Amino acid sequence: MADSVVAIKPPHPKTPNGSNQRITRLLPVHEAMIDQLVAEPRTTSKQLSEQFGFTLNWTHQIMLSNCFKERLRERSMESIDPMLLRTVNERVEAVLVVGLELLLVKLDNPPEKVSDNLVLRAIELSTRALGMGNTSHEPQGPLVNVNLHLEDLSDRLTGLLRRKKIAMEKEIAGETIEAKAEAG
């Protein structure tokens, strides 16, 4: 779809009076950018700017606009199974609660017993959770397609169970042979 949309050069990111422009509605080219991100989640903002003929700064302004982020979220949610998402969210919330409790216990220790790295990491994660940390749209780690990831995990689990079963069968067969040798 992105090929059929003509890239429109954006206006200069500063208005004549020097204030930043705000993107309040999406143009067809913005929708094409969203299509690209939904189809290829690993697409970087640099790749988008090159593909659509925008400057990197303007691409960031588009991607950081509320209307773009909301539409991208809507489109991304269309391709995720709601039941799977709810299960994953519940598990993440449970991990978050337990992790926060443990962190608070550790941070309650006297300052000399709490490592500087723990304090810095706690501050970093807390500010990020509150929206004050890194807000760039560049991925911080590899993006994972949940369905493929779960499929890969299930294949690996099946293989592990097969290997365990074979090992147990060999162990049982070895014990049977030893028992027959002792009886004979």
Rounded alpha-carbon distances, angstroms, from residue 41 to 8, 160, 162, 180: 23, 31, 34, 61
Do residues 23 and 68 make contact, with C-beta atoms less than 8 angstroms apart?
yes
- First-residue to last-residue Cα distance in the chain: 77
Cα angle value 132/124/118 (rounded, 5°): 160
Structure tokens at 59: 């691409």
* Cα separation, 168 vs 150, whole angstroms: 27
Domain ranges of the chain: 1-79, 81-143, 144-184
* Cα separation, 99 vs 15, whole angstroms: 46
Res 8: pLDDT: 46
pTM beyond 0.85: the answer is no
Over the chain (184 residues), the average pLDDT of each successive run of 10 is 45 41 85 90 91 91 91 83 69 79 83 83 79 60 64 84 89 76 71
